[in-house]
Structure 1
């Protein structure tokens, strides 16, 4: 299976200005994800998709391939990851190069355990999933079967069930995406216009350190986590 590793990093971050190339410890944030991708033995190519000249400059210094500059209309706050991935896939298709799948690697999740990318790829291949995502377990108190949504001034169980599951032991496991890995077949991206498709695999990363950097508080958490990992 031929797999494209895609690292998206646009400019214009509002919560943390210059986030994608801001120094986290001794490295720009982008470098953590690039090093994880470079250590993979199963990604056939790793590229950056960015609209920002400063980010592109840093990427090239790291010897991360930048085959194109992302169009401005695909670098807005409202731009979806799906649009960014499809743009990269179509860039290569127009040049007669096909990939069977794309592995989206977000810069904002820098703490991937060693070997995670290849672990995900092997599970993805072996089970013929449409997609595979890395996930973490949702704490029981926030299990969707115990969550309520507002409904015309009253509450309803978020899952749509009429009766709540009363015993903690009866709750099914629930997961949330951690942002580290999104693997999707190219045919699902293009034909179904989806990052997920119908058959979604997962790898549980709950035992590993985790941060998804979006706010200054997240950045501080990342710095503290990095310090602990070094000690």
Structure 2
């Protein structure tokens, strides 16, 4: 399978200005994802998508490929990952390149276990999923079967059940996206206009070091974690 590795890194971060090239333990944040990419043997090509010339300069210095600059209108706070992926596919298609799937790798989730990318790709291809995402288990206290929603001034179980599951042992496992890996078939991206499709596989990263960097406290947590890697 011909799979494009895509690393999105816009320049207009407000929570942590310049975070994608900010130094974390002496390395640009981008480098952590790039190091994971270099260890992969199943990605056909890996490119950077950014609107920022300074990010391109840093990326090329560490050996990353940035074949285009992303338009500013696709680097806003409201820009979706789907829009970024479709733009990259469109640019590459104009140059005669076609891919069966895209593996989106966000630098803001920098810590990936060795071999995680290729393990995810193998599971994706063998399972013939529309997409595959990396996830972590939701602690029981926050399981959706124990979560309430407000409706007309009253609380209702978020899952729609009439009676709450009383025993922790009976709770079904629930997961949340961790942002480290999204793999999606190109046909799903373009024909269904979706990053997920209907048949979604997953790879469980629970237990590995994790942070999704968005605000300053996340950066502080990353500084703590990186000392143990």
Question: What pairs up with 1:1-231 in 2 under 5 angstroms?
Answer: 1-229=1-229
Report the secondary structure of 1:219's partner residue: helix
Report the secondary structure of 2:141's partner residue: helix
Q: CA RMSD in A?
A: 0.7
Whether the aligned pair in 2 keeps the contact of 1:38 and 1:46 (CA below 8 Å) is no
Q: Alpha-carbon deviations, 1:87-129, whole Å to 9, x = none?
A: 0111112222110000000010111000000000000000100
Report the secondary structure of 1:125's partner residue: helix
The CA distance in 1 between the partners of 2:87 and 2:30, in whole Å, is 20
The CA distance in 2 between the partners of 1:52 and 1:163, in whole Å, is 52
Unaligned stretches of 5+ in structure 1?
A: none
The CA distance in 1 between the partners of 2:96 and 2:140, in whole Å, is 48
TM-score, with length taken from structure 2: 0.99
Q: CA deviation at 1:163?
A: 1.5
The CA distance in 2 between the partners of 1:219 and 1:48, in whole Å, is 22
Q: CA deviation at 1:226?
A: 0.7
The CA distance in 1 between the partners of 2:222 and 2:96, in whole Å, is 40
| Large movers: runs of 4+ above 6 Å | none
Aligned length: 229
The CA distance in 2 between the partners of 1:149 and 1:139, in whole Å, is 18
Unaligned stretches of 5+ in structure 2?
A: none
